């Protein structure tokens, strides 16, 4: 079996009888063992996945299998799966098992997906290089000296190394798209509210979205199709009905669309020259195919990352208050009373970056600084939303790079602010709540892949993915 097979290729193999779910799971399991040095998995549900595969093989034979029969999925370790551990790669959740499954997990299981394990990530999804996990760094499968990106580093490394068919990640500021770009995969961040967050360990509630990491756009579209929709357990999940996203992909793209390219992005001195040239080439090809591509000015690039970090850390400082060593998870053995239980458990249980962000968030919400930071950032966010919507009044899509550069070497970025600037092209979608997808279109002279990013207005995931496929096939 080709470990990098897409789901459609797997289905062909299953249909022809060349493979079974059991043989596919077996193949992935042996690859997981061979690639343990990547440190992508925190836990492999070996026996459970094999048992599930057997069950589904029986259902396939009786014609009663779900739509995802044959799909082997990894879960980022911040998504709850009933009676399984979930830790957000943090020591603070030591020994914790979830009592329930995330809505997305329920929906996927209903369609016979096989969940093969928990995937490493940056602690509480805070990071851009997967160097912030309490369980060690994840290696980029293409070049083991380099980072896979973050925070969904394990998800991306697992799919890129052929350890599972696809994986779920979460994207708060680029945590699916940036690593997808670094490892040559498709990474989709649905629009805010498109997918239920029930069962996703919150980092920043008004930014977080669960999304797929996959080998092709079709797989991402299929997973979204099944995951999307309203959920009584998440008031922020939209009532707008989801669509059959896979059907958009086969649709006729002869209807020429208007594409915006952000001028300040192309002119950004931080953007790698080869990536820039690749983007310019793509623009020319689009034009030659009849697309109307225009440069728009969006002079807010320098506001994005600061606004993002003020607001996400504020929300995180509150979201992470529940981890206190009282009801569940890690409790310091030096605890003597209630105050020390909180103080010591949190000091010992959280990693450095998480603590940095909790402190930053606590500061921006504190009396006397609230207006200067949190409130001002909220205002900027509103403006960014309006300005982004204004672009979509005249354009169907925005095309931009996914990352300023290719995957960097492990340990190369020490300064947190430099690290935060990794998100410069991705945070716009999270700040404004729109969908975005990273697609692997580029191959750098340094041997590493990189991606381009397509954004669309809210609830236009279907047309966005159809256009992304056009860009990929140019």
Which residues would be at the binding site for another protein (CB under 8 A)? Answer: 78-80, 86, 88, 93, 96, 98-100, 102, 197-202, 204-206, 232-236, 314-315, 317-318, 320-324, 326-328, 338, 341-342, 362, 365-367, 370, 374
Judge contact between 79 and 105, C-beta under 8 A: yes
Q: Is 151 a catalytic residue?
A: yes
Residue 250 CB, nearest approach to another protein (Å): 35
Smaller CB separation from another protein, 361 or 462: 361
Among 151, 170, 438, 457, the active-site one is: 151
Kindly report whether the peptide bond that precedes residue 151 is cis, defined as omega within 30 degrees of 0: yes
Residue 189 CB, nearest approach to another protein (Å): 17
Half-sphere exposure of 415 (CA within 13 A, CB side): 3
Residue 329 CB, nearest approach to another protein (Å): 9
Phi-psi region of 290 (alpha: psi -120 to 50; beta: other; left: phi over 0): left
Q: Report which of 22, 10, 17, 6 is spatially closest to residue 56, judged by C-alpha positions.
A: 22
Residue 311 CB, nearest approach to another protein (Å): 9
Smaller CB separation from another protein, 38 or 92: 92
Rounded distance, CA 88 to CA 172, Å? 14
Smaller CB separation from another protein, 338 or 417: 338
Looking at 366-451, list the stretches that DSSP marks H as alpha helix, in order from N- to C-terminal side: 376-394, 416-420, 427-432
Smaller CB separation from another protein, 9 or 206: 206
Tokens coding 155: 């998800």
Smaller CB separation from another protein, 222 or 320: 320
Residue 109 CB, nearest approach to another protein (Å): 16
Residue 84 CB, nearest approach to another protein (Å): 12
Among 129, 175, 345, 438, the active-site one is: 175
Rounded distance, CA 423 to CA 306, Å? 11
Residue 360 CB, nearest approach to another protein (Å): 13
Q: Which helix (H) or strand (E) holds 262?
A: strand 258-262
Smaller CB separation from another protein, 163 or 210: 210
List, in sequence order, every beta strand (DSSP E) within 35-159.
Answer: 41-44, 72-76, 114-119
Smaller CB separation from another protein, 246 or 432: 432
Tokens coding 431: 């700040």
Smaller CB separation from another protein, 29 or 320: 320
Rounded distance, CA 148 to CA 142, Å? 9
Q: Report which of 126, 220, 242 is spatially closest to residue 167, judged by C-alpha positions.
A: 220
**Structure-derived torsion over alpha carbons of residues 385, 390, 396, 398, reported in degrees to the nearest 10:** -60
- Expressed in angstroms, the distance from the first to the final Cα of the chain is 29
Q: Is 89 a catalytic residue?
A: no
Residue 203 CB, nearest approach to another protein (Å): 11
Q: Report which of 465, 457, 467, 472 is spatially closest to residue 191, judged by C-alpha positions.
A: 457
Among 76, 139, 189, 257, the active-site one is: 76
Judge contact between 125 and 88, C-beta under 8 A: yes
Say how many C-beta atoms besides its own lie within 10 A of residue 284's C-beta.
11
Smaller CB separation from another protein, 227 or 320: 320
Rounded distance, CA 148 to CA 131, Å? 9
Q: What is the DSSP string of 190-239?
A: PPTTSB--TTBPPSSTTT-EEEEEESSHHHHHHHHHHHBS-BTTBTTS--
Judge contact between 107 and 226, C-beta under 8 A: yes
Maximum C-alpha span of the chain: 71
Q: Is 90 a catalytic residue?
A: no
Residue 278 CB, nearest approach to another protein (Å): 37
Tokens coding 283: 């623009």
> Which residue is it, tokens 């690290």?
419
User: Looking at the annotation, which residues are catalytic?
Assistant: 76, 151, 175
């Amino acid at each position: 079996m080709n470990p990098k097979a897409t789901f459609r290729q797997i289905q062909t193999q299953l249909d022809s009888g060349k493979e079974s779910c059991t043989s596919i799971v077996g193949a992935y399991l042996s690859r997981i063992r061979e690639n343990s040095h990547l440190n992508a998995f925190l836990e492999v549900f070996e026996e459970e996945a094999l048992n599930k595969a057997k069950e589904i093989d029986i259902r396939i034979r009786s014609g009663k299998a779900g739509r995802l029969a044959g799909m082997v999925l990894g879960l980022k370790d911040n998504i709850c799966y009933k009676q399984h551990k979930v830790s957000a790669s943090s020591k603070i959740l030591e020994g914790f098992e979830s009592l329930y499954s995330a809505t997305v997990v329920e929906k996927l299981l209903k369609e016979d997906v096989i969940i093969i394990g928990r995937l490493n990530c940056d602690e509480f999804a805070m990071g851009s290089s997967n160097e912030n996990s309490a369980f060690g760094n994840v290696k980029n499968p293409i070049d083991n000296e380099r980072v896979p990106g973050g925070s969904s580093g394990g998800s991306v490394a697992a799919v890129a190394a052929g350890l599972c068919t696809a994986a779920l990640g979460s994207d708060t500021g680029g945590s699916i798209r940036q690593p997808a770009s670094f490892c040559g995969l498709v990474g989709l961040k649905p629009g805010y509210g498109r997918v239920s967050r029930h069962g996703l360990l919150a980092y920043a509630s008004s930014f977080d979205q669960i999304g797929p990491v996959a080998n092709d756009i079709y797989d991402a579209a299929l997973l979204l199709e099944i995951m999307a929709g309203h959920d009584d357990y998440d008031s922020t999940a939209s009532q707008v009905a989801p669509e059959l996203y896979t059907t958009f992909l086969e649709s006729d793209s002869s209807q020429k669309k208007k594409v915006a390219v952000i001028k300040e992005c192309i002119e950004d001195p931080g953007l790698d020259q080869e990536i820039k040239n690749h983007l310019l080439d793509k623009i020319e090809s689009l034009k030659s195919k009849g697309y109307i591509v225009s440069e728009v000015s969006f002079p807010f690039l320098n506001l994005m990352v600061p606004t993002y970090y003020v607001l996400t850390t504020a929300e995180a400082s509150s979201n992470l208050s529940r981890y206190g060593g009282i009801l569940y998870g890690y409790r310091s053995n030096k605890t003597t009373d209630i105050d020390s239980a909180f103080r010591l458990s949190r000091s010992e249980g959280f990693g450095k970056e998480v603590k940095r962000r909790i402190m930053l968030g606590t500061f921006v919400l504190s009396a006397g600084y609230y207006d200067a930071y949190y409130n001002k950032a909220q205002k900027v966010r509103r403006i960014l939303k309006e300005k982004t919507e204004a672009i979509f009044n005249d354009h169907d899509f925005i095309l931009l790079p996914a990352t300023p550069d290719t995957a960097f070497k492990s340990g190369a970025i020490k300064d947190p602010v430099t690290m935060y600037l990794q998100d410069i092209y991705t945070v716009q979608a999270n700040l404004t709540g729109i969908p975005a997808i990273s697609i692997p279109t580029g191959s750098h002279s340094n041997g590493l892949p990189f991606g381009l990013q397509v954004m669309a207005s809210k609830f236009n995931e279907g047309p966005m993915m159809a256009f992304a496929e056009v860009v990929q096939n140019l």
